[in-house]
Amino acid sequence: KNNVTENALLPYVLKRGCERIGTHEKRLAKRLYEGLSTMKNVNLLLPFSEEDRSSIVSLTLNNMPAGKAAARLDREFFIATRSGLHCSPLAAKTLNIPESLRFSVGPFNTERDIDTALFAMKKITE
């Protein structure tokens, strides 16, 4: 247990509200998705429709493995992502999907964070 985190998180969520937090995350994820969808060498894995919104955006790259992209984003731009087969290695194998890169948008992310991520992705995918 982490009492500091638990004591700080609950009042934040109660004050801001789950619906408001979710709306914020989905709005930023949509901005990220739409920006990434215009980039060459980026293959978005899931559609981003109004009814299927999530705060997670997953993709593969034509020009480098996802692990290398995650390392570059971290090292060069201080952007934390996850790479790999995540929770579904058998599904990835069945669908012949290589490891993917995953962005997770959270309640403390801002439009500036998304714009920075898009700038960084443009730099590493060109």
Mean pLDDT of the chain: 87
List the single range of 37-51, 63-77, 105-119 with lowest mean pLDDT.
37-51
Q: How far apart are CA 22 and CA 18, in angstroms?
A: 6
> Which DSSP symbol is given to 51?
G
83 pLDDT band, cuts 50/70/90, is: very high
Q: What average pLDDT score do residues 9-14 get?
A: 82
